[in-house]
C-alpha cells in the first residue's frame, strides 16, 4: 500500500512502480481514499491502464557489403524537382533598381506630413510641456518664428485686487487686478469673469470681459501674456448700488 497524489497519477496515467521491488502496476485499478480493513490481502496483478503504441514501419540497416546511400543523391533529386516548379511572380526576388527611389521619397514626404499634422494637432500639449516647449522655443528663436499661444488659466496668479468708484464715469466702478503668468510659455490674455456679491454672499451682478474689452492695444493682444510676466488690469463695470459689498475675479 502506498500514498500518492493526483500529480503522481497524471505522470503516467496511473501506471507506477514500487519503490522497493521496482515492479510496475496500475494504481488506478486499486485506487481508494481509505485504507482497506485488516487483515490486508494481496491483490491480484492487473494490466497497465494504457496500451503502448505499436511500431509497424521497420528500418533495416544495410549489410556491410552494400554501399550506404549517399545524401548527395536525394539532394540532387530534390534540386531537380525544385527547378521544375514555377515560382510565382510575387515570390520572385528582384534586385532594387534606380526606379525605387521615387517611392522611397514619396513615403518619406508623406511621413513628414503626417508628423507635421500630428504636431499641429497636439501643439498645445507640446508647447506646454517643459521639455518639448523649451526645445520649440529655442528653435523658434533661431528660426525667427513665433509659437501659437497656449491657454492655461490655472497658471494665472492673482496677486492683488481693488475696487473703487469710477472717478469720471457716474454709476460705475473701477476694478483693478495684478496678475502674474506662472507658466513657462506665453499665453493669450484671459477672459475675466467679475462677480459682485451682497452682504449675505449672494451674487447680484456678473460680467465676463474679453481681452478686447479691457485691452486697448491690438499688438499686446497678439503677443499675449509672456512667461513669468506680471501686469495690471483695469476693468470698468456698472455699479449695482450699495448692496454690492465684495467681488471675485475668475480667469478663463
Beta bridge partners of 178: 160, 232
* CA-only gyration radius of the chain, Å: 45
Q: What is the pLDDT of residues 169-184, one digit of tens each?
A: 888 888 999 999 998 8
Residue 23 confidence (pLDDT): 82
pLDDT for 84 equals 45
pLDDT at 218: 85
Angle at 226 between CA 223 and CA 231, to 5 degrees: 100
Domains of the chain: 1-33+43-50 (no CATH), 118-148 (no CATH), 153-251 (2.60.40)
Task: Retrieve residue 141's grid coordinates.
Answer: 528663436
- Residue 90: its pLDDT value, please? 46
CA 216 → CA 157, 210, 235, distances in Å?
Answer: 22, 11, 12
Please give the DSSP secondary-structure letter assigned to residue 39. S
Angle (CA) 226-175-159 rounded to 5° is: 45
What pTM did the predictor assign? 0.44
Residue ranges in the chain modelled with pLDDT below 70: 43-99, 118-138, 140-147
Helix (H) or strand (E) holding 218: helix 218-223
How confident is the model at residue 195, as a pLDDT? Answer: 93
Amino acid at each position: 500500500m502506498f500514498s500518492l497524489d493526483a500529480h503522481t497519477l497524471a505522470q503516467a496515467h496511473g501506471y507506477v512502480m514500487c519503490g522497493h521491488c521496482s515492479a510496475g502496476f496500475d494504481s488506478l485499478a486499486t485506487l481508494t481514499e481509505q485504507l482497506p480493513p485488516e487483515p490486508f490481502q494481496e491483490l491480484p496483478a492487473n494490466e497497465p491502464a494504457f496500451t503502448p503504441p505499436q511500431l509497424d514501419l521497420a528500418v533495416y540497416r544495410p549489410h556491410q557489403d552494400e554501399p550506404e546511400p549517399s545524401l548527395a543523391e536525394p539532394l540532387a533529386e530534390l534540386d531537380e524537382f525544385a527547378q521544375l516548379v514555377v515560382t510565382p511572380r510575387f515570390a520572385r526576388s528582384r534586385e532594387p533598381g534606380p526606379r525605387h527611389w521615387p517611392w522611397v521619397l514619396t513615403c518619406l514626404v508623406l511621413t513628414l506630413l503626417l508628423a507635421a499634422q500630428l504636431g499641429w494637432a497636439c501643439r498645445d500639449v507640446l508647447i506646454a510641456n517643459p521639455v518639448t516647449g523649451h526645445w520649440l522655443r529655442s528653435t523658434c528663436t533661431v528660426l525667427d518664428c513665433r509659437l501659437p499661444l497656449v491657454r492655461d488659466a490655472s497658471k494665472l496668479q492673482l496677486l492683488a485686487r481693488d475696487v473703487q468708484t469710477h472717478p469720471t464715469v457716474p454709476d460705475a466702478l473701477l476694478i483693478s487686478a495684478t496678475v502674474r503668468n506662472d507658466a513657462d510659455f506665453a499665453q493669450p490674455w484671459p477672459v475675466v469673469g467679475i462677480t459682485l456679491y451682497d452682504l449675505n454672499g449672494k451674487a447680484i451682478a456678473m460680467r465676463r470681459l474679453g481681452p478686447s474689452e479691457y485691452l486697448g492695444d491690438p499688438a499686446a493682444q497678439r503677443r499675449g501674456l509672456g512667461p513669468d510676466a506680471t501686469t495690471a488690469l483695469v476693468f470698468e463695470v456698472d455699479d449695482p448700488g450699495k448692496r454690492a459689498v465684495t467681488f471675485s475675479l475668475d480667469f478663463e
